[in-house]
Amino acid sequence: MAIIKNIDKQKIINLLKEHPEYTLADVGRMEGISRERVRVIAGDIPGACRHTHLPRLCKNCGKLLRPYRPHKGLNYSSHREGFCADCWEKEKQRRKEERFKRTNQGFVCEICGKEFWRRNSAVKQAFDRGARVRFCSNKCYGRFRLSKSRPGR
Ligand SMILES: [Zn+2]
Ligand SMILES: [Zn+2]
């Protein structure tokens, strides 16, 4: 005789009904059967069937996240990070800007007054040479040199 576990279907159905937070796999582990088996049993009774994972919500807007399916708007990294497709685009942009601000320093050009950015390494290099970052471009530096060499003009 094949070894077939005597499954108490009603108990499994009750577990699923009373604990919407349990996944099929959770119930399977409790009863010593596979998730697939629980799914089949749950399928018998309307209302007891469910997704294998708890619904996940977007961290930002709270929108329900669909299970990961490539090419359906939710890419793997947005899924992993728990953002919907739209919020993930914004989050990526935010992180990019954050990284930029961490690795660059902002300055205001002494000649044209324009705001500009230099990499931290370049600022440090200039500092090591005893210089400061003062001009946005060689053009402005040239204008500065010119104004120095021809006072009064
Ligand atoms: Zn969102
Ligand atoms: Zn300038």
Ligand nearest to the CA of 74: 1
pLDDT at position 55, please? 65
pLDDT at position 133, please? 93
**Cα(130) to centroid of ligand 1, in Å?**
48
Q: DSSP string of 39-77?
A: HHHHHHSTTT---SS--EE-TTT-PEEPPP-TTTT--HH
Ligand nearest to the CA of 114: 2
Below-50 pLDDT ranges, the chain: 1-2, 52
pLDDT at position 49, please? 52
pLDDT at position 4, please? 56
pLDDT at position 104, please? 97
Ligand nearest to the CA of 136: 2
**Cα(120) to centroid of ligand 2, in Å?**
19
- Indicate the average pLDDT of the chain: 82
Ligand nearest to the CA of 88: 1
Which amino acid, one-letter code, is at 4?
I
pLDDT at position 2, please? 47
Q: Roughly how many angstroms between the first and final C-alpha of the chain, as a whole number?
A: 107
pLDDT at position 48, please? 52
